[in-house]
Amino acid sequence: MQDIIEKAKKTHILSKNEIVKLLKNNSDDLFNAADEVRKNFVGDGIHLRALIEFSNICKNNCHYCGLRAENTNVERYVLSKDEIIKLAKNAVDMGFRTIVMQSGESKVFSADTLADILLEIKKLNPTPAITLSIGELTTEEYKILKKAGADRFLLRIETTDKELYKKYHPNMDFENRARCLKDLKELDYEVGTGCLVGLPEQTLESLADDILFFKEINADMIGIGPFIPHKDTPLKDAKGGSFELALKVMAITRLLLPNINIPATTAMEALKENGRIIALQSGANVVMPNITLDNVRKKYEIYPGKTSVTYDNLENKLQQIGRIISKDCGFRGDSPLTLNPSPLGRGKHPRKIKQARYLRKNMTPQERKLWNTIKNNQINNLKFKRQHPIGEYIVDFICIEKRLILEIDGGQHNYKKNIRYDNERTKYLNSRGFQVLRFWNNDIDNNLEGIIEKILSV
């Protein structure tokens, strides 16, 4: 078993057979390895996402979900535009840097109305990242919402086993769901997906396929939770998923997609006391506190136990396990990988090249935006390379001919330790005759032209 874990830690690639073996095994080594990879690739910061459940109306009838359309025991609600914006403002005032807007699938708001809400939320200061979790839409609708400021989208594939998918999702189409995920990627959303663990008849092989699917679509976020039977659903008498198996699926996902964001899901906590903290020590790095007001919160009962999970004392609990609350928006790649030399292995060149290749494949949205503008000698015929190893560092972009390096900074550069590290790094690069220009993610988002001018002037 240890050899499979070592391979996963090194290469982040496993076969289906190897994944199944890990799923069958019951040692803590898997969780410890996932925790180590989490620490090396995304650091100790926990990203908090403020969750607003703005409507529980759903037209679908997923067999496992308490909000399914045919469940007449649910009192349905929709928050008003003003209520949503007010909740978002409170969240930003409390220090949250991401707002997650979640609802059943119903189109209670048209894409245009939602776009108006997003535009208002984007005016808040500091501007939060916005995640949507509102189900399957048309390509055009995803486009409208992206343009209005949505940064991320959560859409769990639920299971990649097509037979099971069909069985538990009447009138839904696996291919359309996959189309949605593809659209979202192409539209440059950060894409979150995930699966339920422990559905009746679900096999370990099918869970392995789910994990390989996450890797194949290069998802940016993965939410995994155990299936918990709800009394008002066709699966009311089913056994339900186990916490341990869900934790294994999550840990293997961390090994295979080392720099993504993985929430410690509410279902983990609902099933096991302290489940969220255990998840955070087994690969997870995100928590999504629910900030919907109590009067409607109880009406969003997807599974039993969900609405009583609390967030009291969270900061303390995180501190106790040596974790800190992150101050930035927590996009994928806003991680210390490029800052902290330890995971790169000092002076080991081949490994560095591999890491650089990895980073090239997994650029942040801002890196991609700048790269699209400067690649192929587009500006003044300057030849830029990306994620290029120099000594023991990997620089974001480099024009070797002009000895110019461009670095993009996310919020994590604010930490004291990182400022010191950045200074050392700049000193070293200067000593090799390179000039380093640093830009903030914000600059790339809002003032790309200014950045190009600056590069040209230098």
Burial 59-76 (b: 16+ CB within 10 A, else e): ebbbbbbbbbbebeebeb
* Residue 190 contacts ligand SF4 per CB under 6 A: no
Q: At closest approach, how far in Å is the CB of 55 from ligand SF4?
A: 10
For ligand 5AD (CB under 6 A), the number of binding residues is 12
Residue type, 334: D
How are beta strands 98-103 and 50-55 bridged, if at all?
Answer: parallel
Q: How far apart are CA 260 and CA 241, in angstroms?
A: 24
Q: At closest approach, how far in Å is the CB of 154 from ligand 5AD?
A: 8
Q: At closest approach, how far in Å is the CB of 330 from ligand SF4?
A: 24
Question: Are the C-beta atoms of 383 and 399 separated by less than 8 Å?
Answer: yes
Q: How far apart are CA 428 and CA 124, in angstroms?
A: 39
Q: How far apart are CA 58 and CA 313, in angstroms?
A: 33
Question: Are the C-beta atoms of 337 and 359 separated by less than 8 Å?
Answer: yes
In the window 249-288, what residues touch ligand 5AD (CB under 6 A)? 267
DSSP 327-385: -S---TT-SGGGT-SGGG-TT-HHHHHHHHHHHHHT--HHHHHHHHHHSTTTTTT---E
How are beta strands 393-399 and 385-390 bridged, if at all?
Answer: antiparallel
Question: Quick one: which segment of 223-231, 244-252, 254-262, 418-426 binds ligand 5AD (CB under 6 A)?
Answer: 223-231
List the one residue from 18, 141, 158, 328 that touches ligand 5AD (CB under 6 A): 158
Residue type, 67: L
Q: 224 - beta bridge partners?
A: 195
Q: Which is nearer to ligand SF4, 105 or 161 (CB)?
A: 105
List the one residue from 68, 146, 230, 386 that touches ligand SF4 (CB under 6 A): 68
In the window 117-136, what residues touch ligand SF4 (CB under 6 A)? 135
In the window 36-65, what residues touch ligand 5AD (CB under 6 A)? 64-65
* Residue 51 contacts ligand SF4 per CB under 6 A: no
* Residue 67 contacts ligand SF4 per CB under 6 A: yes
**From the list ligand SF4, ligand 5AD, none, which binds 214 (C-beta under 5 to 8 Å, kind-based)?**
none
In the window 79-108, what residues touch ligand SF4 (CB under 6 A)? 104-105
* Residue 227 contacts ligand 5AD per CB under 6 A: yes
* Residue 60 contacts ligand SF4 per CB under 6 A: yes
Chain residues binding ligand SF4 by CB under 6 A are 58, 60, 62, 65, 67-68, 104-105, 135, 302
Residues that bind ligand 5AD (CB under 6 A): 64-65, 156, 158, 196, 225, 227-228, 230, 267, 302-303
